[in-house]
Amino acid sequence: MSPLNLGNQQPKTPLNADQAWRITASRAAGTVLFFDFDGTLAPVDDDPTAVRPAPKALAAIEALAPVVQRVAIVSARPVEFLRDQLGGLAGVDLYGLYGLEHSHSGGETVTEPAALPWVPTMAELADLARAELPPGTLVEYKRLSVALHWRTAPQLGATVQQWGQAQADRLGLRSQAGRMVLELKPPVDRDKGMVIGEAIKGATGAWYFGDDVSDIKAFAALRARAAADPDFLGVCVAVANPETGHEVANAADLTIESPAALGDFLTQALTHLP
């Protein structure tokens, strides 16, 4: 793995991952670990409903949760889906739909009030997408967003993106590009960067693990905190992928090969933590 670039902290010698974990160990009680879900904790699948987390990564998170201040999953998926996938994992905060939903340590799911009036619009949009988009497009309805996938039909990418952007413009929605997917969501100011920026208040350090372009905003939130507080250790980790990997890796401090490799990386990290 490449040396860590810690932005404005500018250490005399670049830290590698082992050194960063040793520093994290000295302040574990003030450290937050953030993970994206799809492509990070779980391999991407042609069928989004068939995705399952890598077992070793899940086991490592379960071991890490009692050691650090917080572990949080920050995803485009709904909280209910994340809860099901994690199997009731204790002590983990869940941020779904880019932060439009959240649940802390197994508590009730709270929805951003400003997003609720958009539920009927999103349901109608999902029905329209199923009726108008060509076969091969997978329409994923998430109550507060609609994801348009073309992974099984790459030739449809331009058509789906053009249709999706036209609907976003017509309805006043926001669009979020991803790995062979375009997501349409309410015009509410919530994204991964905002979630992380709020969640690290009072923390002495944080790691963020992600694989897609929406995670770059989370990286930026860690960099901004490190720039404002030289004692804050922020580490941005990209999980490699063939679609948006170059852009995400360029924004990260280091890159891990896959969700399975992330499990090995976290298991090794446990040897440094108390």
| Residue 192, both tokens | 């991964």
Q: Which residues pair with 177 in a beta bridge?
A: 182
Closest CA to 106 of 84, 74, 136: 84
Residue 8: which of 212, 185, 229, 262 has the closest Cα?
A: 229
Q: What is the pTM of this model?
A: 0.90
Taking the alpha carbons at both ends of the chain, their separation in whole angstroms is 23
Cβ neighbours of residue 206 under 8 Å, at least 6 residues apart?
31, 32, 33, 34, 196, 199, 200, 222, 225, 232, 233, 234, 235
pLDDT digit string (tens) for the chain, length 274 residues: 334 433 333 332 356 888 889 889 999 999 999 999 999 999 998 888 889 999 999 999 999 999 999 999 999 999 999 999 988 788 899 999 999 999 998 889 999 999 999 999 999 999 999 999 999 999 999 999 999 999 999 999 999 999 999 999 999 999 999 999 999 999 999 999 999 999 999 999 999 999 999 999 999 999 999 999 989 999 999 999 888 779 999 999 999 999 999 999 999 999 888 7
